[in-house]
A and B are shown apart, each in its own frame.
Chain A
Amino acid sequence: MAIITIREPAYFAAGSGLGRGGGRTLGVFQNEMNRLFESFFGHGKATSPSGVFPPINVYQTAEALVVTAELPGIKPEELQINVEDDSLLLQGERGAVHEDDTVSYHRRERDCGSFSRKIGFGQRIDAQAVSAELKDGILTVTLPRAREAMPHNVKIKTS
């Protein structure tokens, strides 16, 4: 006898009282439309995976590049961050939770293992000023641009 059953995300069972057919179809359609609008207007950018763990998002401001990655369950001591002039190296390991004989697994979807990813930026980073934060399973690395890589105004000489 199953002690816990996973309820797969699915459409409503018939007779759930939440409306069938029309409402549902509209919901899905609206989601698609929302997504189209979002990707169109840049709120929720369409994603393009790189094939390497961990997936990252990179943002830029005038002063810095900001890299974020989802690393749930990884402690700061399990993560290594190295910075060079124009690249960032993320390395770490996520260990298994239980390897005990008395425990049996009903489901095991969370992977464990190691990772190593180097991210090149094509612009110089002020390596001394890089900071990183790991909070609620999200890593945020802030990489200030090297002074010469920052945008600056050019003064026009008048003769």
Chain B
Amino acid sequence: MESKPLPLKDKREHDTRAELTQGGPVFVPAVDILEDSQQLILIADMPGVDKDGIDIRIDNNELHIHGRVRRSIPGEYLVSEYPIGDFMRSFILSNLVDVGQVSASIKNGVLRVTLPKSQAAKPRKIQVHSE
């Protein structure tokens, strides 16, 4: 299958270092947010982050994702085209998300957060009773 070439994009650096005590740049991961009738799915590119490096918090309807990237510099730099650093991003959830049921997984450097909708937000079929 022929497909369009992948564009080159610079990693977007966070302009605040509020929650971090360590040095080095922090980047904003690219995300897709999908919705179907049952849930929202948030997919974030976080290359270099594994299961142990991911930290997800929900605090007052704010979802925070933070991925720690372990730097391993295998030798002396010859060429440097991309910077290396942690990933961080926050989202505000409406009360239509059932925050107690949020789950997440990470594979191949891609984080997937599943945010089920609360019962009130799911489409329902209304039973009609005959009298």
Contact = CB atoms under 8 A, between A and B. Distances in A.
Asked if chains A and B come from one complex, the reply is yes
Interface residues of B, number: 64
B5 A72 contact: no
B93 interface: yes
Q: Chain B CB within 10 Å — which of A1, A68, A103 has the most?
A: A68
A97 B77 CA distance: 34
B28 A9 contact: yes
Contacts of B24: 34, 38, 44
A74 interface: yes
Given A4-B115, A53-B5, A106-B34, A137 B48 contact: yes
A114 B3 contact: yes
B36 to A, nearest CB: 5
A58 B131 CA distance: 77
B35 interface: yes
A136 B47 contact: yes
A60 interface: yes
B45 A72 contact: yes
B18 interface: yes
Given A47-B81, A53-B8, A106-B34, A137 B110 contact: yes
Given A18-B18, A115-B5, A110 B32 contact: yes
A136 B108 contact: yes
A35 B77 CA distance: 17
Interface residues of A, number: 74
B31 A107 contact: yes
Nearest to B95: A3
Contacts of A65: 78
A10 B14 CA distance: 8
Contacts of A71: 47, 109
Interface of B: 1-10, 14-18, 23-25, 28, 30-37, 40, 42-43, 45-50, 62, 73-84, 88-94, 96-97, 108-110, 115, 117, 121
Given A57-B80, A70-B47, 18 more contacts: A3-B93, A4-B91, A4-B93, A7-B92, A44-B25, A50-B8, A55-B81, A60-B76, A61-B75, A100-B36, A104-B35, A105-B32, A106-B40, A109-B31, A116-B5, A134-B108, A137-B48, A138-B47
Q: Which 7 pairs, one residue from A and one from B, show the smallest C-beta to C-beta distance?
A: A137-B109, A137-B47, A59-B75, A55-B81, A72-B109, A70-B47, A58-B79
